[in-house]
Copies of this chain bind each other. A is one copy, B any other.
């Protein structure tokens, strides 16, 4: 049985358009409607036939939906929710895909006080954005975390869970606050660090930009991929998950200082011990199918 029959997607970027493609692939009888604030994106979405209907207002997109998924930057969730408030059917379930959950849950509850809300975060993505960046298999073998607040209708939670499983994801439920701390270390801090080091390298005077680029295969290039991610999305993530990000950053800085001291005082054993410990983490990630075992990210050998 289909968990939902009429799905509306608000925000047709990487994630929204991937959901649309995945729904088409896995649940082809579902009626799909979509809306994006950007007229150009709506045009593209129409041209590539992303949904059955691309509406010109958010209200028109949700009029008939039994599931509405907000796929906009986390800082825009409140606005996007307010924009559908008047037209949202009373029995529709509202969900989102935001990368932070506490702030989004608050924004959605304020904008839609009477709606059934089941927040979700598919832990999957690439560095691209926009409607043409999406693809149907993005969520395959990836986790999708639901963070419903206490008292949410269990049937609604179950339906959203089934929806994500149908798209290929494995579903986990946790509290929004815990989600935000877990993602602060596994996603937000890595992005913050990658942005920083790419900035640091760009600002050096004695090492030219051309040198940084030429010799990037020594490790730097991997950071640039992450640091090419969408600026709006990530600005919103850092501001919305401020406390958890700052806390993880504090721990990271302390550990970095310890390593700095180890280098300064020639403590090779300390370095060696840490570098040995970190190998095991990689092994587990590969074993659990969260990354490719291919060396060098499977980059072409020629």
Contacts and interface: CB of A to CB of B under 8 A. Distances in A.
Contacts of A191: 219
A186 to B, nearest CB: 4
Interface in A190-239: 190-204, 206-207, 209, 211-232, 234-236, 238-239
Copy number of this protein in the oligomer?
2
Contacts of A295: 126-128, 133
A83 interface: no
Interface in A231-263: 231-232, 234-236, 238-239, 242, 245-246, 248-249, 251-253, 255-256, 259-260, 263
Interface size class for chain A?
Answer: 35 or more
A84 B202 CA distance: 42
Interface of A: 99, 123-128, 133, 135, 137-138, 140-143, 145, 172, 178, 181-183, 185-204, 206-207, 209, 211-232, 234-236, 238-239, 242, 245-246, 248-249, 251-253, 255-256, 259-260, 263-264, 266, 268, 271-272, 274-279, 281-285, 288, 290-292, 295-302
